[in-house]
Structures are given as C-alpha cells and as structure tokens.
Structure 1
Amino acid sequence: MSAVAQSLTDPATRRMADALRMLAIDAVEAAKSGHPGMPLGMAEIAVALWDRHLKHNPRNPAWPDRDRFILSNGHGSMLLYGLLHLTGYDLPIDELKRFRQLHSKTPGHPEVGVTPGVETTTGPLGQGLANGVGMALAEALLAREFNRPGQRIVDHRTYVFAGDGCLMEGVSHEAASLAGTLKLDKLTVLYDDNGISIDGHVAQWFADDTPARFAAYGWHVVRDVDGHDVDAVDRALHAARASDRPTLICCRTVIGQGAPSKAGTHDVHGAPLGADEVERTRRALGWTYPPFVIPDEVRARFDANERGAAAEADWRARFDAYRKRYPGEAAEFERRTQGGLPAHWHDTVHALLRDADVAGESVATRKASQKAIAALARSLPEMLGGSADLTGSNLTDWPGAVEVRVDGENDGDNKNNDSHGLRGGNYLHYGVREFGMSAAMNGIALHRGYLPFGGTFLTFSDYSRNALRMAALMKTRAIFVFTHDSIGLGEDGPTHQAVEHAASLRLIPGLDVWRPCDTVETARAWISAVERDGPSCLLLSRQNLPFVTRSAAQIADIARGAYVLRDWAADSAHQQPVRIVLIATGSEVALALDAVAPLAAAGIAARVVSMPSTSVFDRQPREWRDAVLPPDVRRVAIEAGVRAFWRQYVGLEGGVVGIDTFGESAPAAALFEYFKLNTQALVDEARRVAHGGR
C-alpha cells in the first residue's frame, strides 16, 4: 500500500475501507467484468461520509428528510453496492455475488428502482452531479416553502461522488455554474482526483485548474485533501457543512489503491484485476478471508440500522409536532412527497378541458400551453417551471409565477428563518443550459415534492437528449416543453427548425411525446403529462393553429393518443366510394381536415385521425387501434417532419407527406408552400394511394 494509506492510524477504520475494496474486487472478479479502480481508490472517502456524516435509514430508504447520496461516477457501482449491503439495506450478499447478472439487484451501473438505497441512475458521466443540483434545489425550495420558525421538517444534504470524467462532461459545467449562482449550500461534491481515465493519464487531455474553476462558479472549494485519510476527509466534510455555498472537496487518491502492481494505472479502471493480482492484493491488505466474507466486527461498525432508525424517529417526532401546529401544511407536504394528486383533481381536469373547448381560440399551441399551465398551477402548487433562457418564446411562465432568486436580488422577509441563500419561488431561469436544465429536472423529480417542467426550442432537444433518455429509463415525473416545433418557426431558418426531432424523441422507450393540434389537445396533453408516473414531452407550435370543434366523446378520446376527428364523407353520386385514412399531428391536422371535401368530390371518403401522441396510442388495446385505423383501409400520414417514422402506421402501400431535408429561412406560410406541406399535396398523395399507387 502507498504511504498515504498508512496515514489511517485507526486499524478498525482501515478495515472498513478494505472491506469495501475486497467486496468490489470479489464481485468484479466473479462477474469477469466491471470497474474495480474507483471503489478501491474511494474506499476511505466512502467510509468518512457514510460512517460519520450521511443521514439515512436502511430500513426505510425513502423517508423524506434523508440525505441524498449520488454516485455520479456510476461505473464504480460496486462501491455503492458494498456500502448498501454493509450498512443494512435489503441487498443480501447473494446479490453482490450476482453483480452484473440478469435481473440481479446489482446491475453494472446503479439504477433507481432496482436497488434499495439508489437515488438516481448513473453512468452517463456528469449527469449524476447535475441530478444532485436538482435534488439540492428541491430541498432548498421545500425548506423555504414548508419550514417555519422553530419547525424545520426539511433539513437534509445532497452528497455526490464524482470523477475526472464527470468534470470533463459539459453537463457538469452547466449544472455547477447554476448551483453556484443559486448558492445551494447543502450540496457537497467529493471529487476523486486520481488523474486516470480509461485512456490513461488525463494530464494530456484534462489540464483544467478544477479548484479554480469551481471557485469561479461561486463554490466553496476544499483543496488537496488526502483521499486515503478518513480523518482528513471528515474534516473537509465538516467544513462543507459550515459553508454558505456548495462545496467541492478535492480528494487526491490513487486509482486501484491496494493493488500492488496495478494501482495508479489505467489497467485497473475498467477490468478485473485477475486471479494473481487479487491474491497479491489480499496479501498486501492483510485480508485473510475468502471471497465475499466480511468479519463480524467490520459488519458491526458499518451497520447503520440503529442510528438510521433513531434519525428518522427524531424527524417523525418533529413532524408530528409540526402537524399539530400546521395541519394543512403537513398534509400538503405528505401529498407532494408521496407524489399524489389533490383531492379535487378531477374537477380541475374537467374545468380545464371545458374552458379550452368553450373558448374556441385559434392560437399557437405554445400559448395554449401557457393557459393550461396557469390553470393547473392554481391547483398544483408543486409545479416548478422554467426555461433555458427562452421564457418569452416558450411561454412556460404564467400570471402569479414567482421567480426563484438568491438573497439580495429581491425584497421580502425570510419568514422561515432558513439559512439558504435561495429565495423561494416556483419559476426558475435556467439560463442557456438545456442539458443541465433537463438533468437537474430529473433530480428535482427524483427528490419528490415538486413537478418540474422546463422549456426550450424543439431543435435544442438535441442538447439535452441524454437527459431525456435517462428520464425515460428512470421513469421520472418531469415534463419537457419544446416549442417552435417545425419549419413553422419561420425566418430563423434551418438551424432552428425542427425536422427530425419529433421522430427521434418518439423512438425513446418510455417517453410520452405529444404534438397537439389546438387548445383542447394541448390541455389534454398537459393533463396526461401531470397524471403520468413518467416523463413527457410537449411539442408546441410557434404559429397560430385553428380551433377544431369536437364532441364530448372525442375530447375524452384524445387521452388515448389518437382518435377519429372526422369520419367518412363522400359525394352522394358515389354509392361505394374508395376509403382512405388521413393521419395528422399538430399544425398538419388542419390540412387533413381541409382535404376531406376535395377528396369527397373525387369519390374518396376520408377519415381524419388526429394522433397527438403515437406513444400513448401504441399502448392502447388492439381493438382500439384497429377501430381508429382499420387494417383493410389504406392510409396517408402528414407531418412537418421526416417521413420514415410514419411507415409503421401507413405501411409500404401507404403514403407520407413530410419533409426529408433541412428547412429554409422564410416566413412560415411561404415555407409550407415551398416544401409542399399543404392541402393540395395531401389530396394528391391520398388520390394516388387510394387508387393503388396509380
């Protein structure tokens, strides 16, 4: 072992770190795959945090006021699994033996909902840190909203382990800058500064002055901490607790610490040590136990059940006292942290759909969305909106929204006597940080207590795509609002005009994508997104769209993703007209409706199907799908986007009117005509398909 490791003068504490090392080594060796280097290098850091600071209860991993722990460098998952197992979570040793195996509770990277005690799914580097920013933000805002003088029911911290890879990824820069600006003082990141990544020594491609960079973000930085000295890390954690800013603790470590020939090299990063090196490591550590065997005295030191139960019991006693004094606030806190909807939710839904229908407005769906947000926010105080510096375009704010600010930027008393530098509110300006915003929203949603939504242009969904994918993988209850959904954006040109984006987002499993055609469909999309236990995307127009009249039954059917908006109609001179189904979304629904009359005049009876959400429609029973899209009737789809996506609905014999090139800079109306996204093009394609391609 290196000299730094010998600075651990307490043999019992050193034994705890070595237990984590050996569990990681044994599990990776059994799986014949994995990343042992980080668990070996961060073992002492983990002991310092989990044994001396982390507030958690293994018997109840979800109690609201627990500290949150995030392994942003998720490839080192065995460090977390070892901690969860040893501290008392429902993660038996047999699951560690099944590391990386099918349907085990120990997948290759930590997955929320799979392993008890895992707070977020990590692996795509940097996003765990950004999730942590969202969690710390949720804690700060909940404390502002619910704490009262002498009554602190929200008072926990967020801890993140991160490595060089996390800090190279751009999303960590976005998130760290936001955290510093918002003074999220209960956020602490422990940086595993070992100088190694998969390709080797990072000095050749990562020479940042990381402490100076975080100091420039407004963080409190603790430099040059010996990451193999539990007492040194402990002191740094105490310093973080005393700071009024987020803290970065820079821990100097040796990757693979304890492995005699591989420590300090990239060889130990992402591959098993091998039988010979494992045996040499056992001897070097003085670890005489067989694989997966931990001595009782070490288990006893790790066991957090008793102190965890005591911490939760203390909180519940304080919450009971809070409930007696503030019964309404207590009930609201419980509802929101449990993810429930208010008792009057059905009345809200009815009123929102009724008002949108009665108003009959022909407005842009981004404007219809803003009206829906305003109505929902009156019933859902947990709504936490925002935008990536496009509020005036995305229209994600609403009358009565209160901007989240830091102290000194607005007036008002701090009625809750909280130490946060953050002022309360329900609308956040994320700045030009689409990826950071989306990843932070995932953290807010995972924390619970708020329903986050945030906006940007649809074309910029590319910037945040991996966070959208992670939202779908984790089933986070977050709503991503994407406006300016097509070439209808107009004069800003092809750099800003979405073409492939709707189809691309629909390909992400578990992500509900809505592209509504008017105010009523927009209201229904919002309702479905709020009700869903998972993420949703709303794709909204810049340009005004005509209002569509519907029956009450049709309004109800919108929730099924696709429905018959106009049924067969034909010239009376044709006794047995040819039939065809026109499928449309968003702004193109109006074009499909306009095509019905000229097709009827040509003896073709058209059914118009509005399909605002292919994702939702695909989940419907076969009977519904066949009733909406009769299998024996040919189909034509129209959407201002790439055509290939629609082949699954129209088949090879069907037709698609769309756009397979980038756009142009011109007014929207001129663009729709130039690209032949118009009623005549749809009529021509429908006639061709209806007559067998002739």
Structure 2
Amino acid sequence: MRSTPAAASPALDLLSTSCIRMFSADMVEAAKSGHPGAPIGCAPLAHVLWSEAMSYSPSRPGWINRDRFVLSNGHACALQYAMLHLTGYAVSDADCRAFRQVESSTPGHPENFMTPGVEVCTGPLGQGLTNAVGMAVSERHLGAVYNRPGFDVVDHCTYVICGDGCLQEGVTSEASSLAGHLGLGKLIVLYDDNSITIDGSTDLSFTEDVGKRYESYDWHVQSVADVSGDLSELRAAIEAARGSEKPSLIKVRTVIGHGSSKGGTSKAHGAPLGAEDLANTKKFWGLDGEKSFYVADEVREHYEGVRAKVEGGADEWEKMFAEYGQKHKDLAAELSRRIAGELPEGLISSLPSFEFGVDPSKATRQISEACLNTIAPALPELMGGSADLTPSNLTALKCSGDFQKATPAGRYLRFGVREHAMAGICNGMFAYGAMRPFCATFLNFAGYALGSIRLSALSRFGVIYVCTHDSIGQGEDGPTHQPVEMLESLRAMPNINVLRPCDGNETSAAYQIALEGRETPSVLCLTRQGVAVVEGSSKEGALKGGYVLSETEGAGEAKLVIAATGSEVNLAVSASKLLAAAGIKTRLVSIPCMEKFDAQSDEYRSDVFLGGKVPVLSIEAAAPHGWQKYSHAHIGMDRFGASGKGGDIFKKFGFTPENVVKQASEVVKYYSDVPVPNLLHRPKFANFVTGH
C-alpha cells in the first residue's frame, strides 16, 4: 500500500535543500526570534523524509495509516513548518511569515492543537522521541489486532528527528531502553549530530559514544558522515532502517547553521542570523541573497508531484479499507469507532456502585482495579500498565496478556521503573489515535513524571494516570514515599482533573470523568488503606466535583461545614458525630475533584457551602495551599511525613476525630464573634485572573 515517490536528481536535491534551509531561516529572521541553525543543518534529512520516505496525506492529516513524524528538537520547528507548507498542508506562506506571532498557526515550538500535521507538542527536549515510542507501540499493537491476510490496515513507520539535547535528557534513555526491549522495528530516529549545544561544543559535557549506547539498548545503529551534497548514503541508511526488526538510530553528521558565518558554533543556535549574514548564507547555497521566503519553481513542482503521489497512496488505502469493511465488518466498525474517539454504548453504566452498610471497606486502589477490569473487556483501546508496581497499583488487565515483542496484541505494558518515559509514551499513544492509554505509579512518584504529565495537559491528551498510595497513610515506607505536596503540584496545572475519591462510588465517578474527558488528563489519587463506603456518597454528586454528603441532626441550620477528600472523608464523618453530640450541627462536604467543582455555577457552589454564612474547616492529609478558596481553617500537612504504621502516622499528625473536634470547636467559637468571610464570592473581574 506504500507509495513512495522516486528520488530527485542531485541538482534538484541541492536546490530543494537550499530553499528549505533559507525558507526556514527567513521565518526566524522575520520573527526576530527563533532557532535557525538546526533547520539549516537538518534540511537534507527533512527533504528525504518528506519527499521520498514517508506516506502521509496533507488533505487528511488524521489518516490513521500515515507515517508519523516527530520533531523532537522542537526548537527547529521552522523546518517542520517549511515542510508542511511545501507538501500542501494548511500552512500557508502567510502563516510562515507570522512565525512566533500571537494566534499564528506557526508557534515558537510545535503544538499539536495549533498546526495541522504536527503530532505532538515538542520543545522540552526528549519528549518527542519518547512520544514516538508510544506511537510505535500503538502501530505495532493495532496492526496485530486488526490486520488480516491481504489487509494491512495499520502498517507504517514512525520517524523522528532529534538532537544532542534530546539524547542527553534522561527521559529518552528510559524510552529508548524500553523500545529496544520491545523490538519496535518501525521506529526510525535520525540523530542530528552537529556537536553543538547552547553552551558550546558537546565536548563540554557530552562525550559518550551514542552509537554504542544505542547498540546496548538493542537498536540498529548506522552513521552517515555528510549530507551537505550527495544524499545517497542517507537514503540507503533510511532504507536499511526500514528493513530492520529493531528500532533504528541513524547518526547523521550535520553542521549547525551551515554556510553562515556562525556555522558550526553555538551562535547559530538560538538567534536570527542577521540580515547581512542571512544574505551571504543564501549566496553560499546558490540563492539570491535579496529574496525572502523564496522557493524555486522546480522545487514547488517537485513537491506538488510528491503531494499527488502520497495523496494517491492514501486514496488506495481508503479503497482497501472499504473492502476490509466488507470482509471483516466487525473489526472495521470497531476500529472506526476507536478512530472517532467514541466510547462503546453502555460502557459508563457498567461501572460499579456501592452501598453503605452493605459493601465492605476496601482501598480505593482495589475499587480502581475493579473499575479497570469492568471496562477493559468492552474498551479494547484501553491499554497501559505500571512503572514496575503492578501488585501495588493493582492495574493488571485480566482480559489481556502483556504487550511484548512476541505478543503485540497484548494490552498490558510493563513499563519498568521508568515513570517519566511511561507518561511520555502514553502521550504518544494518545496522540496516535484509537487508543486510551493509562499508566500507574505511587502518587509520590508522579513527581518523576511531571514533565510528561504537564504535556498531557498542554496537549489536551486524555491520558489516565492511576496514582496509588496517595497520602501519609502509605505508612511504613516513610516520608520518601509519602506525597504531601503532590496534590498541590498537580492542581496548580491548567487543564487537568485531580481526583481523590473517598470510596467506591466516587472512584467509579472518577473513572467516568477520566473516560469522558478526552481533552483533559485525569490523575486518580487512590488509597493504600481500606475505606468504608460513606453514607450519602454518590457517583452523581462526585461528577460535579463536590457535593453535600450529609448533615448531622439538630435544630436550626448547621454551624460548621467540614470539607474533605479521600480517606479523610471517613475521618470527617466520625468527627461530625462527636460534634453533633457536643451541640455543633455540621454539614459534611466531599470534594473529590476541585477542578470539576470550580466549574459549577456560583449558585450550586454557594448551596453546597451554605452561602458562605458559616465557617468551613477542610481536612486533607496533604499540603494546605489551595484550600483557602473554600475553607477558613485547614487541617493538613506543612511538613514531610514519618515512618510508621499508617494509623499511627495519621494520629501523630492530628488526623483523628478528637483533634478535628478540637479544631472545629475553636473555629466555630472564633466565628461566633466575627463575620464569616464569603470565600465563594467570584466578582466579575475574576476572569482577569484566570486569563479568559
């Protein structure tokens, strides 16, 4: 099904790469900002990939069987925009001239939601290559599940251009090690080996033998000495890589800013060349130094031919898929549903529910296990695993075996102790399409993955993060394993749902929120220790992010609201009973997801918190910051935890019914003499703060 255009003549190669180099540099010059050196050096790599090696469809950028291209060194994005423009994607000459300007489709680093043809957000070095591993996993898995004799509906490569910086970041070491183990033979990485970083020569900090390192990862490694003229060696290396059963690294020697007076130095990296140097560089490459954004007619015509060829290949695939749909109707329908991002009918209603006084106490990680294994058989796109913590995270899929080199149809990924790459690989899987990835670790070690989690949120990827052992209740492993600040770190991030359910009903709601949130990642923060089903808990209430659980008996209105999350909700229940006996009528509120609650109407939020007329005491075994928007006083953690049994740790830090009663009584007494501030009031100008 692959339709690869023929190679250009050496003269056309030179003219094409010269135009690509200088078109990219012109973008940087027009913006007075950006990185010209890498695009100038890497233009031959892009030319061979986009004009010969890759299958894609500019008119259908989401075509499932396209070759994926990832520019891992995202600062070189002027090069990618130039290629998207030349090949006919919806990136116009005007878009290129608006490089790095507000609201342009050519931002300063690639953004998948801004530019057609850009697969993932790259810029934080190493993320793109790591995402590409996730894409290669997805291709291998989907091919194993859906291909049938005569119908290779999923059969393509994932190509990456990366630089020295990407290979220095630890996340790529994690990802590359796993890729080698899994034998992802359709992953092909072109390493822009220009020996320069921002500080200067790589000799300052990076003298390892990269090729030998990747050979040790069980990759196929090749070197190309020069791409400034003849490109036959590069073509041969790419062809050899496509024939390998191992992931491939092609080490390509380039010159950063080649042809510029700054060429081969760090000065070519991160600033415009300047008008005079740019003009001279154009002359070096045989172009008119006075012409900007110039593409020779012969080059335009060549790429018009390339576009016609690749579009024809996509047309042929669509004809083949139509025939596949006739012969394999159920498979085609399921794959089409997955590509469309639609959930199977009845999936959400299948999530379990729990009854107070009937169902036994269980850790919410156990309820999570039940939820995963309820939905997994009906949701084949659900694929993921754990960072070597499967018995603790309880994430094994009973309906499927492992995804391994020999068993690519398996859906459970053994990520190993690689939290950062695990999250980045899941981003790549989500970006691929037709997949709903999940991954798991202890909540404390989400800190190792934060760089990738942040990109989930920025990229609008609905990755599901299962984070167990969510508090000081983790116990004996001590403060190194007890996450006191992680909830705050995650909640500070835009476009993420941080869910800390108190029991089984709220855990089911958390999974519903995660599954329905295709453009928002979710972090499920789950207990190690058992928690009872809370009286009044409801999935419907939890879907709003916060709701009234109960109100203790007594005359008149409540004098206090206690708000809590997770395991501390059961603590609040116990304390409220003691408060009621002391004559303090109390309303209990559960806030399993602050982000969802904050999105509710002012009226609803006011109703939950009694209109701001009574004081609010919040309880969470974590850092207190963030609770000030709801509560007048807080019982939380302002220090790291300690080692000991979970119950003893809670007692040590005051998470007991007796201490809650003591603190609550003082709060009620204080506000009996002074007005209660209405913390829920949101003035109209509040939008200035949130950036709307």
Q: Normalized against structure 1, the TM-score is what?
A: 0.93
1:225 is displaced (CA, Å) by: 3.8
1:628 corresponds to 2:613:
no
1:357 is displaced (CA, Å) by: 7.2
Structure 2 residue identity aligned to 1:611: I
Change (3 A) 1:579 1:601: same
Counterpart position of 2:385: 386
Counterpart position of 2:589: 609
1:9 is displaced (CA, Å) by: 7.5
2:471 to 486, 492, 501: 486
Change (3 A) 1:358 1:57: farther
Counterpart position of 2:351: 352
1:659 is displaced (CA, Å) by: 1.0
1:577 is displaced (CA, Å) by: 5.8
1:646 to 609, 627, 649: 627
Query: Matched residues in 1 for 2:352 and 2:606: separation?
Result: 27
1:291 is displaced (CA, Å) by: 1.2
1:318 to 317, 320, 332: 320
Any conservation in 2 of the 1:582–1:606 contact (CA below 8 Å)? yes
Structure 1 residue identity aligned to 2:512: I
1:124 corresponds to 2:105:
no
1:362 corresponds to 2:361:
yes
Q: How does 1:171-210 map to 2 (within 5 A)?
A: 171-210=171-210
1:239 is displaced (CA, Å) by: 0.4
1:433 corresponds to 2:418:
yes
Any conservation in 2 of the 1:189–1:247 contact (CA below 8 Å)? yes
Change (3 A) 1:359 1:12: farther
Query: Matched residues in 2 for 1:354 and 1:669: separation?
Result: 27
Change (3 A) 1:106 1:359: farther
1:578 is displaced (CA, Å) by: 5.7
What are the superposed Cα offsets for residues 152-186 of structure 1, whole Å, 9 maximum, x if unpaired?
10101100000000000000000000000000000
Counterpart position of 2:686: none
Any conservation in 1 of the 2:355–2:533 contact (CA below 8 Å)? no
Any conservation in 2 of the 1:48–1:231 contact (CA below 8 Å)? no
Query: Matched residues in 2 for 1:466 and 1:452: separation?
Result: 17
Structure 2 residue identity aligned to 1:341: L
1:464 corresponds to 2:445:
no
Counterpart position of 2:243: 242
Query: Matched residues in 1 for 2:459 and 2:601: separation?
Result: 25
Any conservation in 2 of the 1:361–1:519 contact (CA below 8 Å)? no
1:539 corresponds to 2:525:
yes
Counterpart position of 1:395: 394
Q: How does 1:7-18 map to 2 (within 5 A)?
A: 10-18=10-18
Structure 2 residue identity aligned to 1:501: M
Q: Secondary structure at the match of 2:670?
A: coil
1:661 corresponds to 2:646:
no
Query: Matched residues in 1 for 2:513 and 2:27: separation?
Result: 43
What are the superposed Cα offsets for residues 72-121 of structure 1, whole Å, 9 maximum, x if unpaired?
00000100000001110011111111110100000000000100100000
Counterpart position of 2:497: 512
Counterpart position of 2:342: 340
Query: Matched residues in 2 for 1:670 and 1:328: separation?
Result: 55
What are the superposed Cα offsets for residues 504-527 of structure 1, whole Å, 9 maximum, x if unpaired?
111110011100011111111011
Q: Secondary structure at the match of 1:684?
A: helix
Any conservation in 2 of the 1:357–1:519 contact (CA below 8 Å)? no
Query: Matched residues in 2 for 1:356 and 1:55: separation?
Result: 54
What are the superposed Cα offsets for residues 196-236 of structure 1, whole Å, 9 maximum, x if unpaired?
01110011200110000001101000124423342221111
Q: Secondary structure at the match of 2:252?
A: strand
Counterpart position of 1:561: 545
Counterpart position of 1:452: 437
1:688 is displaced (CA, Å) by: 1.6
1:404 corresponds to 2:371:
no
Counterpart position of 2:371: 372
2:658 to 680, 683, 690: 680
Query: Matched residues in 2 for 1:356 and 1:318: separation?
Result: 51
Query: Matched residues in 2 for 1:156 and 1:567: separation?
Result: 59
Query: Matched residues in 1 for 2:225 and 2:499: separation?
Result: 49
Unaligned 5+ segments in structure 2 are: 1-7, 674-692
Query: Matched residues in 2 for 1:648 and 1:232: separation?
Result: 62
1:306 to 305, 308, 313: 308
Q: Secondary structure at the match of 1:464?
A: helix
Q: Normalized against structure 2, the TM-score is what?
A: 0.93
Any conservation in 2 of the 1:194–1:255 contact (CA below 8 Å)? yes
Structure 2 residue identity aligned to 1:242: G
Counterpart position of 1:5: none
Query: Matched residues in 1 for 2:357 and 2:560: separation?
Result: 31
Query: Matched residues in 2 for 1:253 and 1:357: separation?
Result: 67
Q: Secondary structure at the match of 1:140?
A: helix
Query: Matched residues in 1 for 2:606 and 2:120: separation?
Result: 39
Change (3 A) 1:530 1:73: same
1:501 to 466, 476, 486: 486
Q: Secondary structure at the match of 2:530?
A: coil
Change (3 A) 1:221 1:542: same
Q: Secondary structure at the match of 2:351?
A: helix
Change (3 A) 1:424 1:627: same
1:423 corresponds to 2:403:
no
Counterpart position of 1:548: 534
1:580 to 560, 569, 594: 560
State which drifts further: 306-315 or 191-200. 306-315
Q: After TM superposition, where is structure 1 displaced by more than 4 Å over at least 4 residues in a row?
A: 355-359
Any conservation in 1 of the 2:558–2:587 contact (CA below 8 Å)? no
Query: Matched residues in 1 for 2:370 and 2:663: separation?
Result: 36
Q: Secondary structure at the match of 1:513?
A: strand
Q: How does 1:281-300 map to 2 (within 5 A)?
A: 281-288=281-288, 290-300=291-301
Change (3 A) 1:330 1:577: closer
Counterpart position of 1:598: 578
Query: Matched residues in 1 for 2:462 and 2:355: separation?
Result: 24
Change (3 A) 1:24 1:690: same
Query: Matched residues in 1 for 2:614 and 2:303: separation?
Result: 66
Structure 1 residue identity aligned to 2:527: S
What are the superposed Cα offsets for residues 48-76 of structure 1, whole Å, 9 maximum, x if unpaired?
11111110111110011000000000000
Q: Secondary structure at the match of 1:221?
A: strand
What are the superposed Cα offsets for residues 622-645 of structure 1, whole Å, 9 maximum, x if unpaired?
222112122222111100001122
Any conservation in 2 of the 1:59–1:305 contact (CA below 8 Å)? no
State which drifts further: 68-77 or 317-326. 317-326
Q: How does 1:143-162 map to 2 (within 5 A)?
A: 143-162=143-162
1:355 is displaced (CA, Å) by: 5.8
Q: How many residue pairs were aligned?
A: 660
Query: Matched residues in 2 for 1:563 and 1:189: separation?
Result: 50
Query: Matched residues in 1 for 2:312 and 2:252: separation?
Result: 31
1:443 corresponds to 2:425:
no
Counterpart position of 1:96: 96
Query: Matched residues in 1 for 2:356 and 2:651: separation?
Result: 30
Structure 2 residue identity aligned to 1:389: D
Query: Matched residues in 1 for 2:516 and 2:491: separation?
Result: 19
Query: Matched residues in 2 for 1:272 and 1:566: separation?
Result: 63
Q: Secondary structure at the match of 2:153?
A: coil
1:443 is displaced (CA, Å) by: 0.2
Query: Matched residues in 2 for 1:621 and 1:578: separation?
Result: 22
Any conservation in 2 of the 1:72–1:166 contact (CA below 8 Å)? yes
1:356 is displaced (CA, Å) by: 7.0
Question: What is the CA RMSD across the aligned residues, in angstroms?
Answer: 1.6
Query: Matched residues in 1 for 2:181 and 2:342: separation?
Result: 31
Q: Secondary structure at the match of 1:226?
A: coil
Q: Secondary structure at the match of 1:18?
A: helix
